[in-house]
Amino acid sequence: MRQRKRVVRIGDVSIGGQHPIAVQSMTKTKTADVRSTLMQIRRVQRAGCELIRCAVVNKDDVRALPKIREAIAIPLIADVHFDYRLALGAIGAGVDKIRINPGNIAERWKVEEIIKSARDNDIPIRIGINSGSLPDEVLAKHGRPTVGAIVQTAKQALSVFADNDFTRVVISAKGVDVRDTIQVYQILNGQFDFPLHVGITEAGLVFKGAVRSAVGLGILLYHGIGDTIRVSLTADPVREVVAAYTVLNALGLREHGPILISCPMCGRCDVDMERIASKVDKRLKKYKPALKVAVMGCIVNGPGEARDADFGIACGKGVGAVFAKGKEIRRVKENNLVDTLFEVIDENIDI
């Protein structure tokens, strides 16, 4: 059961409460390069990204924010480290939320300036704690970025917001270690009612990164922890968005576009399944409905094994079957199998 949190509005997207878990990503361009940044945002937007974050590291980035903001359809979040003046500049530039790291904007008065400006401009703040940048005094006490060190940093940061009576807060506290991150979020979830942004930081290249994120996020989300997620990958941010929806879909929390399922293959398979499944996956990208489409390696077991799928194909030697909800509806030559599958899908759904 999802833990009920305070509702925080970010532009026209609300998180917390019973709102759907929002998918976010981060641009990997130089923010000041407006053209490249906008191209990337439009691509993630098409993939289903609901909140986008841009790094703001200098004044040129701040100057780019209004142009980016007015050209995109999803809320824009400014990610600021170290320099509170950049945070103030980003807020003034009209972003929908600001993410700061209390580990590197240490002085209380600077954080209070940011809080005041966020209040005046009616936007929320994410307190984004990162195990790689904890305050020096916390690290000195704990020796290394332990669970206790991360939680202490979060509590210290939150106390400043509480003292300033500012409640439009989202918390994240990411560690590199998956088990530590899970533990940190469990503690924060039990102690605060602010929405949580969850993710595994520095997850890795696509395959291992997606697996690591799926393990960490999957465990948290399964226990009802998390209001917005990012799958961090050393890769095109579109892949972060696809991975995030795959995690949410696997847990039955969100549907987004078609899902391809395919059998793992065994000695009964006589075709190049990887090639056929990839072909189907590619063609499915232009479809919007949350269809479940199966590609199965043999005609005898395939349709039955994928009886949950809305549509599917079961490949055989030279000939295969197109099926729907486990029942064969057409038998065609192997070469026509994929085309026939899409003919059947097109006859039955609106793209």
For ligand SF4, the binding residues (CB under 6 A) are: 263-266, 268-269, 296-298, 301-302, 305
Q: Are 169 and 188 spatial neighbours (Cβ–Cβ below 8 Å)?
A: no
Beta-ladder partners of 8: 15
Least CB distance from residue 314 to ligand SF4, whole Å? 7
For the residues of 137-161, what is the DSSP string, one character each?
HHHHHHSS--HHHHHHHHHHHHHHH
Q: Which is nearer to ligand SF4, 166 or 323 (CB)?
A: 323
Q: Which is nearer to ligand SF4, 129 or 277 (CB)?
A: 277
Q: Report the Cα 218 to chain-centroid distance in Å.
A: 12
Q: Which is nearer to ligand SF4, 166 or 311 (CB)?
A: 311
Tell me whether residue 52 is exposed, middle or buried, using C-beta atoms within 10 angstroms of its C-beta: 0 to 12, 13 to 18, 19 or more: buried
Q: Which residues contact 214 (CB under 8 A, 6 or more apart)?
A: 231, 243, 246, 247, 250
Q: Which is nearer to ligand SF4, 93 or 315 (CB)?
A: 315
Q: Which is nearer to ligand SF4, 113 or 281 (CB)?
A: 281
How far is it, in rounded angstroms, from Cα 142 to Cα 134? 11
Q: Are 310 and 293 spatial neighbours (Cβ–Cβ below 8 Å)?
A: yes
Residue 79 three-state SS: strand
Least CB distance from residue 43 to ligand SF4, whole Å? 34
Closest CA to 53 of 255, 234, 228: 228
Q: Which is nearer to ligand SF4, 268 or 286 (CB)?
A: 268
Least CB distance from residue 306 to ligand SF4, whole Å? 8
Q: Which is nearer to ligand SF4, 216 or 316 (CB)?
A: 316
Q: Which is nearer to ligand SF4, 196 or 295 (CB)?
A: 295
116 residue type, one letter: K
How far is it, in rounded angstroms, from Cα 46 to Cα 118? 29
Q: Report the Cα 348 to chain-centroid distance in Å.
A: 31
Residue number, nearest CB to ligand SF4: 297
Q: Which is nearer to ligand SF4, 196 or 337 (CB)?
A: 337
- β pairing state of 51-55 and 125-130: unpaired
Least CB distance from residue 139 to ligand SF4, whole Å? 51
Least CB distance from residue 272 to ligand SF4, whole Å? 12
How far is it, in rounded angstroms, from Cα 245 to Cα 227? 14
Least CB distance from residue 346 to ligand SF4, whole Å? 25
- Judged by phi (left if over 0) then psi (alpha if -120 to 50, else beta), residue 50 lies in alpha
Least CB distance from residue 92 to ligand SF4, whole Å? 58
Beta-ladder partners of 332: 320
Least CB distance from residue 250 to ligand SF4, whole Å? 19
Q: Report the Cα 47 to chain-centroid distance in Å.
A: 11
Beta-ladder partners of 248: none
Least CB distance from residue 268 to ligand SF4, whole Å? 4
